[in-house]
């Protein structure tokens, strides 16, 4: 029994040791930063003014600048607080300040789960290669996606963004040059207004 308790404590300590705390503040009726990407297990602390709160909403509510809380979503009182890791499951969480949502006071928290990302979760029509490479990759969207605009982010396994590119909307190759980064595994995230695609890439 004592051995089991010790193992649980050690596991908990190890898990917490690799987590990070990210702080979000506000500037008037704007969250700063309004969009963050973190690793699963991290927590987010809101250090905001007393006239602002934080409530998780659905994407549809977020798009409409509404303030109806998502069932089971996180909620912080006026003045802020901390969203614990158990509320931050892998994926995108949308949140607003209920009193200022109509003015666009809202943000997103994207949680990456590197261990849960399949070798290739890009949909058909999206490719990145060669993989592995020396840090020079090419991204291609086929004709079925050419009318859509995507943003590109590349992250370390700890969720740190190390590369970004905007307005990817073409059928030709988009060059991704990250040979200056250390060798290792990274996550490519290609995302639009309502779509998110991930792929692991390797620099060797």
Structure-model confidence comparison of residues 2 and 20, the more confident one: 20
pLDDT in tens, 122-146: 766 788 889 899 999 998 877 666 5
Structure-model confidence comparison of residues 2 and 82, the more confident one: 82
The whole-number pLDDT of residue 117 equals: 61
pLDDT in tens, 148-200: 678 888 888 766 788 988 877 665 678 899 999 999 888 888 877 667 778 88
Per-residue confidence band for 14, with pLDDT thresholds at 50, 70 and 90 = very low
Q: Which of 28-32, 42-46, 108-112 has the lowest mean pLDDT?
A: 108-112
Does pLDDT of 109 surpass 70? yes
pTM for the model stands at 0.57
Structural domains of the chain sorted by starting position, each given as residue range(s) with its CATH number in brackets: 2-112 (2.60.40.420), 115-203 (2.60.40.1930)
The whole-number pLDDT of residue 23 equals: 94
Backbone φ/ψ region at 162: left (φ over 0), alpha (ψ -120 to 50), beta: alpha
Over residues 98-119, mean pLDDT: 83
Q: Where do the DSSP E strands lie in the chain? A: 21-26, 31-32, 35-39, 43-47, 54-57, 75-76, 80-83, 91-96, 106-112, 126-129, 136-141, 150-155, 161-168, 173-177, 184-191, 196-203
What is the pairing mode between strands 150-155 and 54-57?
unpaired
The whole-number pLDDT of residue 8 equals: 35
């Amino acid at each position: 029994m004592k051995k089991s308790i010790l193992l649980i404590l050690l596991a908990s300590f190890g898990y917490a040791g690799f987590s990070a705390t990210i702080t979000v503040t506000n500037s008037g009726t704007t969250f700063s930063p309004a969009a963050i990407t973190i690793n699963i297990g991290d927590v987010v602390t809101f250090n905001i003014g007393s006239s602002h709160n934080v409530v998780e909403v659905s994407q549809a509510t977020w798009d409409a600048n509404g303030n109806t809380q998502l069932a089971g979503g996180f909620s912080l009182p006026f003045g802020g607080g901390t969203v614990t890791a158990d509320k931050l499951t892998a994926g995108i969480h949308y949140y607003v300040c209920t009193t200022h949502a109509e003015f666009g006071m809202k943000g997103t928290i994207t949680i990456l789960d590197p261990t849960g990302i399949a070798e290739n979760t890009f949909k058909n029509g999206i490719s990145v290669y060669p993989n592995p490479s020396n840090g020079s990759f090419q991204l291609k969207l086929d004709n079925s996606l050419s009318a859509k605009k995507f943003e590109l982010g590349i992250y370390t396994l700890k969720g740190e963004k190390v590369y970004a590119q905007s307005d990817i909307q073409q059928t030709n190759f988009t060059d991704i040059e990250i040979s200056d980064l250390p060798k290792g595994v990274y996550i490519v995230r290609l995302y639009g207004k309502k779509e998110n695609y991930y792929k692991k890439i390797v620099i060797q």
